[in-house]
Chains A and B, each alone.
Chain A
Amino acid sequence: MTLQSRPPIGPVVLEIDDIHTYYGNIHALQGVSMNVREHEIVTLLGSNGAGKSTTLRTISGILRPRTGSVTLRGKRIDNVAAHDIVRMGVCQSPEGRHVFPRLTVDENLDMGAFIHSDAQVADDRNRVLTLFPRLRERLKQRAGTLSGGEQQMLAIARAMMGRPTVLLLDEPSMGLSPLLTDVIFDAIKEINATGVTVVVVEQNAQLALSIADRGYVMQTGRIVLTDSAAALTQNETVRKAYLGEG
Chain B
Amino acid sequence: MSQTLAPALPTASRQPNFGTLARNLFIAVVLTYPFLDLAFGWQALLAFIPMMLMITLAMGLNIVVGYAGLLDLGYAAFYAIGAYAAAFFTSPVSPLNAILPDSPFFWMQDFWVAMLLAVLVAGLAGALLGAPTLRLRGDYLALVTLGFGEIVPRLVKNLEPWTKGVKGMNPIGRPYLFDCTFGVDPCTIFGTQYKLGMIPYYYVTLAIGALSIFLIIRLRNSRLGRAWAAIRDDEIAAQGMGVNPVTTKLWAFALGASFSGATGAIFGAYLQTISPDQFEYSTSVIVLCMVILGGTGNVWGVMFGGLLIQSFDRIFAERLTGWVHKFGAATGVPAVATLLSNFDLLRSRLFIFGLCLVLLMALRPQGLLPARKRRESALIDETEEEANARHDAAVAQAGGPQ
Contact = CB atoms under 8 A, between A and B. Distances in A.
A94 B241 CA distance: 11
Contacts of B223: 114, 117
Interface string A165-183: 0000000000011011011
Contact of B240 (A94, A137, A139): A94
Given A1-B402, A125-B1, A92 B240 contact: yes
Contacts of A145: 376, 379-380, 382, 387
Contacts, number: 140
A146 B402 CA distance: 22
Interface stretch (B172-180, B230-238, B351-359): B230-238
B236 to A, nearest CB: 6
Contact of A142 (B2, B376, B391): B376
Contacts of A176: 388
Interface string A131-146: 0001011011110011
Contacts of A91: 240
B14 interface: no
A179 B240 contact: no
B227 A141 contact: no
Contacts of B242: 83-84, 86-87, 114-115, 162
Contacts of A177: 388, 392
Interface in A122-158: 122, 125-126, 129, 134, 136-137, 139-142, 145-150, 158
Contacts of B379: 141, 145
A147 B392 CA distance: 11
Nearest to B387: A147
A141 B391 CA distance: 15
Most buried by A among B1, B244, B245: B1
B28 interface: no
Nearest to A110: B1
A56 to B, nearest CB: 11
Given A100-B234, A145-B379, A114 B243 contact: yes
Given A103-B233, A140-B6, A150-B391, A60 B376 contact: no
A186 to B, nearest CB: 6
A101 interface: yes
A149 B389 CA distance: 10
Interface in A94-127: 94, 98-103, 106-107, 109-115, 117, 121-122, 125-126
A223 to B, nearest CB: 25
Contacts of A61: 239
A103 B225 CA distance: 12
B347 interface: no
A83 B384 CA distance: 31
A140 B7 CA distance: 9
Interface residues of A, number: 57
Nearest to B400: A179
B134 to A, nearest CB: 13
Contacts of A149: 388, 391
A129 B7 CA distance: 13
B384 A147 contact: yes
A62 interface: yes
B157 interface: no
B376 A111 contact: no
Contact of A147 (B226, B244, B376, B388): B388
A111 B395 contact: no
Given A162-B241, A179-B400, A103 B229 contact: yes
Contacts of A62: 236, 239-240
Contacts of A113: 1
Nearest to B226: A111
A180 B401 CA distance: 8
Nearest to A97: B237
A179 B392 contact: yes
A102 B233 contact: yes
B241 A82 contact: no
Given A140-B6, A179-B400, A134 B376 contact: no
Contact of A106 (B2, B238, B388, B390): B2
Contact of A141 (B237, B376, B384, B392): B376
A186 B402 contact: yes
A168 B246 CA distance: 24
A61 B245 CA distance: 13
A117 B384 CA distance: 34
Interface in A49-67: 60-62
B388 A180 contact: yes
A98 B249 CA distance: 20
B363 interface: no
A159 to B, nearest CB: 8
B135 interface: no
B245 A83 contact: yes
Given A145-B382, A147-B391, A150-B391, A158 B241 contact: yes
B395 A183 contact: yes
Contacts of A125: 1, 3
B396 interface: yes
Nearest to B227: A114
29 contacts: A62-B239, A81-B244, A86-B240, A94-B236, A99-B234, A100-B230, A100-B237, A101-B234, A103-B229, A103-B230, A106-B3, A109-B1, A111-B226, A111-B229, A111-B230, A112-B241, A114-B226, A114-B242, A137-B7, A140-B2, A140-B6, A141-B379, A145-B376, A145-B382, A148-B384, A149-B391, A150-B391, A179-B396, A180-B388
Given A92-B240, A98-B240, 5 more contacts: A100-B237, A109-B1, A115-B241, A145-B376, A179-B392
Interface of A: 1, 60-62, 81-84, 86-87, 91-92, 94, 98-103, 106-107, 109-115, 117, 121-122, 125-126, 129, 134, 136-137, 139-142, 145-150, 158-159, 162, 176-177, 179-180, 182-183, 186
A-B pairs with lowest CB-CB distance, top 3: A147-B387, A115-B242, A100-B233
